């Protein structure tokens, strides 16, 4: 047993006071007259013996009361294992969970405010010479240093809600960095959190006997919560005046059924559509909102729901681009094709530009989502290389070959693109045998399929090889599993190859009803659909179409409240922006070059915080391999006392105080109820023989 304040033990000298009082009884005596002294002697002996026993018991109770009271002030304890006195100093690392779930409330206010208060109580339980570290979900570099008590309290006050969330393994690894730099100190790790299930790690933490792990759970009131899971369009193509359908998926994170949850769609801060949805407990459901895009360009949109009192996940942001027109480039080998002119001139959304194969501006190829190669006989090495780069960056190429050309150059071109290559010309009439209606080209084209569908007739066509590594998807197929129209992937782009040119001598494909929707859909699918949204903390890089930057030009990412310069890295196919942890708030942002808006992007918080279910104590202990943590209870009053008890061992001052009070109560009971009367024979009093004796009054 040890004493926390051994200086108080000098007060044990006060035990001499009741002993002195007992040894020297200074009470005065008075005379009492008795008739016969002989009988009085027997009474006196019996009464004196009883009184001496009572006095000894009173003395013992007084001595013990003083001893236990002094011990209570000296605070005795049984030291714990790895007691701090064996080390020169202590290193205490405190993690404060500041994720969105800590905005929920308990009886003592928000969980984050309670976590800050508890962190200060923990620090107050240590000595002034001990050092502290405070970290949160942001994992900022400025928190990777040791602080004194005042600096620690100031750092705790600065913590605010963050969109980031970490697992227990991430937290312990972060704390380990500061512990490794102080090998000769007693190390203690504290994690203060509500311990949602998303904090649990996939693998157990390795044991570390040099570190004490203590977890402090904060409990919030039970609250229902509805969150926005995701959004997506039914069609990736957006054009002015087109009817849009947006699917919104909501999730019920509680065990209570929710009725008529209102949904509101805003585009560029203007309300475009509303809806409502009902959700079963712990279930997800989707609703489709219909609206039309009235303006071209980048659109910043958001979905709002009304769900009190948990509101941090009631907004969802996304961005998309609406095309005003679609430019198509036709590179012609001999002359312009009237069928191409006719199919695209019928819709003002499409803008077809024709050039000859010898008059191509290679620098502008990226401005066209679709390039049509119309009966080109000669392919220069420069054209082959530029078209390959164009396709790898996301462009679409459709090839209508010439039947009277030399297959050597065409084969060289297609071989560079990694597609099937021509073998020979088949001069016999046939008909397309099947159509792949599951392909994206024909998605939503036919409302109802006829039993005997009329397919294009073929008079003369090119038979292509079937290379195993070409990755072909057949769109239209000839008898014998021969490709009539096929799709091939190259980088981010697509290559479409037809077995026939757009000439009457090859068949009726250019005049067939299938030709128009096929050419429309191929052109629309050439539009690169950008990501609707990114997730804060997970998506650390953004990939956008390649932007050409001069040596002194920079890109900026900004909105009304924020502006930053991201790290830019150019690749052959795209421009990558690395934002690290610059984006902290959900919302719509612009990527600008100078004064021009190049791309809109949107960021949302991780949906893991929306599920307000918590890990049990058993789940938390299973995370630690061998060195199981102590779990502190925030409901048991001051955490400071719990920490002191855990640090020092079993404290006995409360027991000493109780024993002191028991001894004082015993003294009172002895004085009040302990009598000194005894049985004796009857005394005959004689008036004529008086006697006197001194007897204490």
What pLDDT is stored for residue 452 in this prediction? 74
Query: Cα 604 vs. chain centroid, distance in angstroms?
Result: 11
Long-range Cβ pairs for the range 658-663 (8 Å, 24+): 659/64, 659/68, 660/64, 660/65, 660/66, 660/68, 660/69, 660/72, 661/65, 663/61, 663/62, 663/64, 663/65, 663/68
Q: Is the preceding peptide bond at 309 cis, omega within 30 degrees of 0?
A: yes
* Domains of the chain with CATH codes: 2-75+652-696 (no CATH), 85-222+612-649 (3.40.50.410), 326-525 (3.40.50.880), 534-604 (2.60.40)
What pLDDT is stored for residue 232 in this prediction? 93
Query: In the chain, which stretches have pLDDT less than 70?
Result: 25-48, 79-88, 405, 449-451, 468-470, 636-637, 648-649, 675-697
Contacts of 465 (CB under 8 A, 6+ apart): 420, 421, 422, 423
Considering the chain, what percentage of its residues have pLDDT values greater than 90?
40
Neighbour tally for 530: CB within 10 Å: 17
Give the pTM: 0.73
What pLDDT is stored for residue 372 in this prediction? 95
What pLDDT is stored for residue 75 in this prediction? 79
Q: Are 160 and 115 in contact (CB under 8 A)?
A: no
What pLDDT is stored for residue 489 in this prediction? 92
């Amino acid at each position: 047993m040890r004493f926390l304040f051994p200086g108080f033990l000098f007060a044990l000298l006060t035990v001499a006071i009741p002993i002195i009082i007992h040894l020297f009884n200074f009470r005065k005596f008075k005379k009492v007259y008795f008739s016969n002294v002989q009988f009085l002697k027997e009474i006196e002996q019996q009464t004196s013996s009883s009184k001496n026993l009572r006095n000894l018991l009173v003395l013992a109770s007084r001595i013990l009361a003083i001893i236990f009271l002094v011990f209570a002030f000296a605070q005795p304890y049984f030291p714990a294992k790895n007691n701090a006195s064996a080390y020169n100093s202590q290193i205490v690392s405190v993690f404060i969970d500041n994720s969105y779930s800590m905005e929920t409330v308990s009886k003592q206010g928000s969980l984050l405010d309670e976590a800050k208060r508890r962190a200060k109580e923990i620090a107050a339980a240590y000595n002034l010479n001990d050092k502290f570290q405070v970290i949160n979900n942001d994992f900022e570099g400025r928190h990777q240093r040791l602080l004194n008590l005042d600096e620690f309290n100031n750092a705790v006050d600065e913590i605010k809600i963050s969109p980031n969330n970490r697992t227990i393994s991430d937290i312990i690894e972060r704390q380990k960095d500061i512990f490794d730099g102080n090998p000769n100190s007693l190390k203690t790790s504290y994690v203060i959190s509500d311990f949602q299930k998303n904090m649990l790690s996939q693998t157990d933490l390795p044991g570390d006997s040099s570190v004490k792990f203590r977890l402090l759970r904060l409990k919030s009131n039970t609250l229902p919560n509805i969150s926005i899971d995701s959004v997506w369009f039914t069609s990736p193509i957006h054009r002015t005046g087109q009817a849009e359908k947006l699917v919104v998926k909501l999730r019920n994170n509680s065990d209570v059924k929710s009725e008529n949850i209102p949904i509101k769609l805003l585009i560029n801060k203007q309300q475009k559509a509303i809806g409502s949805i009902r959700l079963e407990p712990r279930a997800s459901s989707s609703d489709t909102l219909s609206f039309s895009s009235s303006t071209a360009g980048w659109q910043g949109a958001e979905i709002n729901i009304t769900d009190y009192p948990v509101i941090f996940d009631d907004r969802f942001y996304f961005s998309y681009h609406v095309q005003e027109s679609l430019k198509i480039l036709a590179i012609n080998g001999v002359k312009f094709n009237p069928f191409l002119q006719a199919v695209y001139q019928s819709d003002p959304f499409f803008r077809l530009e024709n050039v000859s194969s010898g008059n191509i501006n290679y620098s502008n190829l990226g401005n066209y989502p679709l390039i049509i190669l119309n009966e080109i006989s000669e392919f220069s090495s420069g054209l082959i290389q530029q078209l390959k780069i164009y396709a790898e960056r996301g462009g679409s190429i459709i090839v209508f070959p010439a039947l009277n050309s030399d297959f050597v150059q065409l084969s060289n071109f297609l071989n560079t693109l990694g597609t099937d290559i021509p073998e020979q010309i088949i001069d016999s009439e046939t008909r397309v045998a099947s159509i792949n209606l599951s392909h994206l080209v024909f998605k939503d084209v036919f409302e109802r399929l006829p039993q005997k569908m009329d397919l294009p007739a073929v008079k003369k066509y090119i038979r292509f090889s079937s290379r195993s590594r070409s990755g072909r998807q057949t769109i239209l197929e000839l008898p014998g599993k021969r490709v009539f129209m096929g799709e091939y992937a190259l980088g981010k782009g697509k290559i479409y190859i037809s077995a026939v040119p757009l000439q009457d001598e090859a068949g009726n494909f250019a005049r067939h009803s299938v030709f128009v929707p096929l050419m429309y859909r191929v052109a629309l699918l050439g539009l690169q659909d950008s990501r609707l949204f990114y997730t804060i903390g997970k998506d650390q890089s953004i990939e956008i179409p390649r932007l050409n930057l001069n040596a002194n030009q920079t890109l900026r990412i900004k909105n009304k409240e924020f502006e930053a310069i991201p790290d830019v890295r150019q690749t052959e196919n795209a421009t990558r922006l690395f934002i690290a942890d610059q984006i902290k708030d959900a919302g719509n942002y612009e990527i600008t070059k100078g004064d021009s808006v190049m791309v809109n992007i949107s960021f949302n918080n991780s949906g893991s915080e929306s599920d307000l279910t918590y890990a049990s104590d058993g789940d938390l202990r299973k995370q630690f391999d061998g060195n199981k943590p102590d779990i502190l209870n925030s409901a048991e009053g001051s955490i400071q006392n719990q920490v002191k008890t855990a640090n020092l061992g079993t404290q006995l001052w409360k027991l000493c105080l109780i024993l002191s009070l028991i001894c004082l109560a015993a003294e009172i009971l002895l004085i009040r109820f302990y009598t000194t009367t005894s049985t004796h024979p009857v005394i005959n009093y004689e008036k004529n023989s008086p006697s006197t004796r001194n007897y204490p009054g």
